[in-house]
Structure 1
Amino acid sequence: MQRNLIVTKDGSHTVAIPEWEVSYHSVYGAVQESLHVFIEAGFRHWWNLNENASQCVIFEMGFGTGLNALLTTLEARRRQHKVLYETVEAFPLEMEIVEKLNYCYALEESFWQPVFHSLHTCEWNSLQHITTFFSFKKERILLADYAPSEPVDIIYYDAFAPAAQPELWTQEVFEKLLAMLSPDGILVTYCSKGEVRRAMLAAGFQVEKVPGPIGKREMLRGSRLKEKDLV
């Protein structure tokens, strides 16, 4: 599978797969998209609703470039909130590409480059304490084979688009994801397609449309149905 490094409109990198006609992040801006979808609508939103929580457990579907993990590491340190971050990646990026990714420099956080590098080079299938506030575990497996170590508070659902990987956007997949969530857990995804929203609803999610990042009108955020919603 050919993977090409490209520069997006905010100056940060993404990786394109010509064969599938997809990229790991938005061509309108990799960093701005991840900040909007996963940090603002996911991480910050959850913490604002759970201010007294001792830690946040995050699962990311598709470690990919490591951008979402890096941004979460930075946000956890700024807020001084503890995070347990687990992710799966069946097809890791080649280190030749990883070493060229410019996220720390695009964020003007070049000090964090060694930490970003460690996310890619640390041991698989083993919990790593990356910083005081960020513990990290990556598994080289498919989503179907993953089981969280404890209930998940936030799911970053960052699979490739349904046109490229339709098997990852089905009702059955979302049922698995819903079962992983803690009672107050949420799922955020850049995707807002009607078929995806319907699959989430059929799986038992309560789904809301949220304003999307630059280049997308909407995104989706899902949560567990509360008892009052079941009446």
Structure 2
Amino acid sequence: MNNIYLTEDGSHSIFSQKFNQTYHSKFGAVQESQRVFIDLGLCYAAEKFEEIRIFEMGLGTALNALMTAQVSREKLLKVSYTAIEAYPIEIETAKSLNYQEFFGEDLVKLHGLPWGETASLNANFSLHKIKGTLEDLVVAEQTYHLIYFDAFAPETQPELWTQEVFEKIAQMTVKGGVLCTYCSKGYVQRNLKAAGFSIEKHAGPKGKREVIRAIL
């Protein structure tokens, strides 16, 4: 069961009883996603690539996808977004989140899109949702310009922060592609480097001293 709670910036997040963790920072769900994935990821990638293919590890509440769709619409940026999620939230839970107060009604539509199919949320943003685990994902020929690595913390999901996983991600990433994550632990940085990424440390959102942008 998941419990919705209010973060400091006025946006909702969820506490996962399964993982005993929150989906976002208590200091603000929107401000965290904005800094880690939009500012350091999407805006940076938009300067390098004309069209952007994004892969997200952990769809979760779909806040990152929703914010990305908004940017794609406002900036006329062509985005193809693929997200994998092993434990999707219920559509009724999605309806209870207050993200529509920030971004309009796209959230419920996004959660309602079918799994395993590609569908358009707006003229510039398409979404393909995969229900399953990253470990079981078969790496295809499709490669991505930007990775949103938004798994639960290593203490909860250590199997997702290994060198082997990042090597798999590297196979899915174009040369010069970008991976963004909120986690800057030393062994995570070492595993990213061992997989072929170079590490950039950046100031994090409120409550987080630094976050990582990794370049392949």
TM-score, normalized by length of structure 1?
0.90
Equivalent position SS for 1:207: strand
Q: After superposition, where does 1:1-231 map in structure 2 within 5 Å?
A: 2-18=1-17, 20-50=19-49, 53=50, 55-105=51-101, 107=102, 109=103, 112-113=104-105, 115-146=106-137, 147=139, 150-224=142-216
Gaps of 5+ in 1: 225-231
Please tell me the root mean square deviation across aligned C-alpha atoms, in Å: 1.2
Task: List, as ranges, runs of 4+ consecutive aligned residues in structure 1 with deviation greater than 4 Å.
Answer: none
TM-score normalised per structure 2: 0.96
How far 1:61 sits from its partner (Å)?
0.5
- Which digits, 9 at most, give the CA deviation of each residue in 1:149-177, with x for residues without a partner? 62100000000000000000000000000
Number of positions where the alignment pairs a residue of Structure 1 with one of Structure 2: 215
Q: Which amino acid aligns with 2:42?
A: F
Q: What amino acid maps onto 1:90 in structure 2?
A: A
Unpaired runs of 5+ residues, structure 2, are: none
Q: Is the 8 A contact 2:91 2:108 kept in 1?
A: no
CA 149–141 in structure 1, closer or farther in 2 if over 3 Å, else same: farther
Distance 1:87 1:201 in 2: 24
> In the TM superposition, what is the alpha-carbon distance from 1:148 to its structure 2 partner?
5.1
Tell which deviates more after alignment, 126-135 or 144-153.
144-153
Structure 2 contact 199–213 (Cα < 8 Å) conserved: yes
Report the AA paired with residue 192 of structure 2: M
Measured in 1, the distance between the counterparts of 2:29 and 2:65 equals 13
| Structure index of larger Rg | 1
Q: Using a 3 Å threshold, how does the CA distance of structure 1 residues 89 and 71 change in structure 2: closer, same or farther?
A: same
